[in-house]
Amino acid sequence: MSLKRFQLHLKCQRALRLWRDGMSFAELAGAAGFYDQPHLNRTLRAMFDALPSRYARAFPVQVVHLDSF
């Protein structure tokens, strides 16, 4: 894995940790360190072959933050 791809993977993980119910993808992109929402979408599509909005609409996503336990 290249260094750039690894860094993008870490950003994706950060986005999942920061994702809160009701948060827009634009807010999430900025909070996770992406340039903008399209950059977040392109990266997630490249890494996981799906847009986050597709999963958010079709399957309710619940991210459980282990630091809250």
Residue 63: its pLDDT value, please? 55
56, 42 contact by CB (below 8 A): no
Continuous H helices in 1-69: 3-18, 25-32, 37-48, 52-58
Query: Any idea which residue has 């950003």 for tokens?
Result: 11
How far does CA 53 lie from the centroid of its chain? 10
Residue 6: its pLDDT value, please? 86
Task: Convert the pLDDT of each residue in 10-57 to its tens digit.
Answer: 888 888 788 777 788 888 889 888 888 888 888 888 877 766 666 555
Domain count within the chain: 1
CATH code for the domain of 49: 1.10.10.60
Residue 55: its pLDDT value, please? 56
Structural domain for 36, as ranges: 3-68
Taking residues 2-17, report their average pLDDT. Answer: 84
Rounded to 5°, the CA angle 36-42-46 comes to 150
pTM exceeds 0.95 for this model:
no
**Residue type for position 51:** L
